[in-house]
Structure 1
């Protein structure tokens, strides 16, 4: 395999760029003095992206990890988790490019005046200056001390220096020309921003995690969790023989429990729990949704054994009210319900069930009625549904993507042609865009239905293996200006706002897309320790993005994500012993934010962890 030769000029330039990006201006200045006057004049400089050295090192560590796994040997490079105290912008105020001043100009000022002066104010235009050059090559660059030798990379990982050989086609230096250098663009390296990417501390969320151990019962497991509203921030857990409300009070991060730390058994946490009443013994909750802060709808399947030992399964749809004290049966004929969606505007309950190989759609106008007001069937199974207005909803499933209208009758508005099995739907109310997660064979797909082309379901092969989740960023309230005080809007084209869509995969990568321009990819975000991400979700206020799996949770700040791709906070399961959290337990992983974006919950098997997120 041919490896691109690395010259010392390339290595020096990468180090020089890193020193400036990390805020070590003095070191960058000394390197340019000993090496080359103006590194930006090197012919390859324009090809070097921001943070190239760090990315190169990270790729090398990843390759070393893969190589060690393939050869079943130890990794060659391992630095441990304790990297010492982080250092942030130690000397970047004057000697870096945060004001757009190349380091060699600062050096000239220092040599001329005996001290480094305050950088002059940044000007709007570019700076013109002259420099003696020969055939376009700066004399300083031809100095033998430049050390432009090639470092050959041997297969054993060692390097050795060989003399560089000038190609015949290279120009021979001449003193005849002294052209004017073209305008030099002001540097885009910003120390304050770049330092955040490389040196700012990442918050560790593990120490303040609280665990609710109340579900450590043999016949109970958590399969779904659902946070309530801001007026009733309760956590609803449901699963095998389990339907329970948890009231988990908030505490300052410094507050300690009087009992076992982190278990939820001490008086400092004081979790209050209440089992919701159901007329069943051995059952499983297959779907649930909140109707109001005091009412919830659940679908439950009960296993019954008759006199001769035969097992029968009965499905029923319940409304639970009066803070869980009472219930009523909505239907005993709804089938095996896998999705429940509540329409607040018209108070309609949508249920999706599977009757054999077909999908069943039922809508209750009055949840006290045992017969649905509308019903319909599809030729294949339905896996998900979402309301997109007070009278329209979308369903998806095996080769299925349909839009329905609820009027006097339930009608199919349009059927979109597809061969993909669509498993999950998300809807962004502010833009009217629908996103979907699907699979065909071994290939994962991201789908987008845009209101500008409502007859075409646009699909894109997902770039990472094992596509697992997606979510839209909640849009903040938009203030519409008064058109009477504005110039003619037809003369001023308004920019199309980005609609942030986050996706994740079990391969350990999260991505951010602009759903308004399918499929415009904006960011690739590695998860903590490249751990699998089963779910991804924006906080309700839209400020944070979290990707979660059994092994780790990774949180990014959306306001900083353009300049800071590393997370602001992480949580690792390995920080706890298996008695608190065992990521290897079988079961459905569940994850969600509380209504005020200050905490998130993860659940697996009979384990629940509440993770405070500092703001």
Structure 2
């Protein structure tokens, strides 16, 4: 049995997506013509590439441990390290196994004697059981209360990974966006989550992302741009309508979704399609309503940002200052906003202005996320250069450079606290989440790290402050949703699911936390301090 190059490419593509390398996944998918393959991605389990490689290494290790006649080894199985397995032929691996077995037999016997001599009552001292290993200790999350599985509502129905979720700011509706080319709006019952809530769930409203009129997603109906990128529009419409981003307006009456097909869509609260916004020529990675709710802002791989008239669906202005894909956008107020890009730049733009009103240069790698503080005074950014920065329109250089992470920083969030907010007596805090598996909480005024939150064991893709600013939820690909006390920097609640988490969010009153999972599911957890 053999594996085709298309299948290998798809495994790599899915690995990049699951690891959070969204932009690298897009580039690789484009150059390897992923959209033209007939592989059913929904049938591929999460972590398929890693599992495939691990099984291959295990097979190679087993082969190296076999006797010359193919029979099983006599004695202990000799473990080999991954660098040897990846770099050396089988015959050399067999020699390594022989040497290990020869030199290790006497050591093993001596070690066995030493253990019995030093720890004669180990099993008795632990009540007849072996001590917890590191993984079990980590899962226990000592000092935190585990959220019981029975207190969790599972929202089933998506046929692909769920990339994003967001609560309505006005109702108990929860929206989710998936790789199955749909968004879903769930009506989550008030009161306790869990079995009782599960039994009273209504069917969600399914927002199907149909092919755009004309089929090419660039607004002109000719499909030429698709052909330039190496795939036909019919393939794009069939395979590339993943819902990558979504956002509710301030009243909770409209939901906007952004898709991999390059179109944004506006839906009413009942799930009716109001407008399809088709001018971008590449996937949309970021989409935001302004506070007034009359304009919608989108950022795309086509290197541009567009401000749309939400009522008419017309593009008010397209901003094309970046030289690489636009990764994030965020409104400062109702008419001005910021954009960030793979070109390392941040631009502050204003509707009606033909040039940026400010350009922030300082990051040395792609800028993954930008966020204005609650008052629109400070702009935070985070990058693959391992740093976060805080900027002000009053100066060209950053106000603070935050450089304590040891890997790429994927996202940042401001606390809903400080002067001008509903929580004016609490300090303004910036949270940063990184591939180094930590979250850091920064004092915005001093630019100092006040807490490092370390309990995750895999990259952290999402963080969200509770509405009162007292708690922070975090989601990671270690399958865990953790809730922290912001003031103390301590873990207070923990829940372990069965899939990696792309997004976490709080409902409007801070009593429920939702998580978007890689295993096609959304979960809702009750939170009681």
TM-score normalised by L of structure 2: 0.61
Alpha-carbon contact 2:343-2:365 (below 8 Å) kept: yes
1:270 aligned partner: 201
1:55-94 alpha-carbon deviations (Å, 9 max, x no partner): xxxxxxxxxxxxxx99xx999997439xxxxxxxxxxxxx
2:254 aligned partner: 295
Alpha-carbon contact 2:432-2:439 (below 8 Å) kept: yes
| CA deviation after TM superposition for structure 1 residue 546, in Å | 1.8
| CA deviation after TM superposition for structure 1 residue 474, in Å | 0.7
Distance 2:316 2:420 in 1: 38
Give the 5 Å matches for 1:368-407. Answer: 368-407=312-351
2:243 aligned partner: 285
Aligned in 2, Cα 1:80/1:437: closer, same or farther, shift over 3 Å? same
Q: Secondary structure at the match of 2:257?
A: strand
Give the 5 Å matches for 1:12-411. Answer: 79-80=131-132, 202-212=144-154, 214-215=156-157, 217=159, 220-252=160-192, 256-257=195-196, 266-267=198-199, 269-280=200-211, 282=238, 283-291=241-249, 292-301=251-260, 315-321=262-268, 323-333=270-280, 335-345=282-292, 347-355=294-302, 359-365=303-309, 367-411=311-355
Match of 1:468 among 410, 416, 432: 410
| CA deviation after TM superposition for structure 1 residue 469, in Å | 2.8
**Structure 2 residue 525 is the aligned partner of structure 1 residue 598:** no
Give the 5 Å matches for 1:565-576. Answer: 565-573=489-497
Give the 5 Å matches for 1:503-522. Answer: 503-518=432-447, 520-522=448-450
1:75-134 alpha-carbon deviations (Å, 9 max, x no partner): 9997439xxxxxxxxxxxxxxxxxxxxxxxxxxxxxxxxxxxxxxxxxxxxxxxxxxxxx
Per mean C-alpha deviation after superposition, the further-off stretch among 535-544 and 374-383 is: 374-383
Aligned in 2, Cα 1:458/1:522: closer, same or farther, shift over 3 Å? closer
Match of 2:361 among 410, 417, 442: 417
The structure in which a higher percent of residues are helix is: 2
Distance 2:327 2:524 in 1: 29
Aligned in 2, Cα 1:79/1:503: closer, same or farther, shift over 3 Å? farther
| CA deviation after TM superposition for structure 1 residue 296, in Å | 1.6
1:608 aligned partner: 522
| CA deviation after TM superposition for structure 1 residue 222, in Å | 1.7
Distance 2:446 2:356 in 1: 27
Alpha-carbon contact 1:394-1:401 (below 8 Å) kept: no
| CA deviation after TM superposition for structure 1 residue 333, in Å | 4.8
Distance 2:294 2:158 in 1: 37
CA RMSD of aligned residues (A): 3.8
Distance 1:405 1:533 in 2: 30
1:527 aligned partner: 455
Q: Secondary structure at the match of 1:276?
A: strand
Give the 5 Å matches for 1:544-563. Answer: 544-550=471-477, 551-559=479-487, 561=488
| CA deviation after TM superposition for structure 1 residue 275, in Å | 0.7
TM-score normalised by L of structure 1: 0.53
Q: Which structure has the bigger radius of gyration?
A: 1
Distance 1:399 1:326 in 2: 34
Alpha-carbon contact 1:208-1:612 (below 8 Å) kept: no
Distance 2:144 2:324 in 1: 47
Match of 2:502 among 589, 599, 606: 589
Alpha-carbon contact 2:462-2:476 (below 8 Å) kept: yes
**Structure 2 residue 349 is the aligned partner of structure 1 residue 435:** no
Distance 1:592 1:274 in 2: 20
1:457-476 alpha-carbon deviations (Å, 9 max, x no partner): 65343333343332111116
Aligned in 2, Cα 1:517/1:323: closer, same or farther, shift over 3 Å? same
| CA deviation after TM superposition for structure 1 residue 393, in Å | 1.1
Q: Which runs of 5+ in 1 are unaligned?
A: 1-68, 82-198, 258-263, 303-314, 481-495, 574-580
Aligned in 2, Cα 1:348/1:256: closer, same or farther, shift over 3 Å? closer
Distance 2:347 2:366 in 1: 16
| CA deviation after TM superposition for structure 1 residue 232, in Å | 4.5
| CA deviation after TM superposition for structure 1 residue 422, in Å | 0.8
Match of 2:428 among 485, 499, 510: 499
Distance 1:420 1:407 in 2: 27
Distance 1:407 1:201 in 2: 50
2:44 aligned partner: none
1:536-582 alpha-carbon deviations (Å, 9 max, x no partner): 221122121122213222212234x1xxx431111123xxxxxxx24
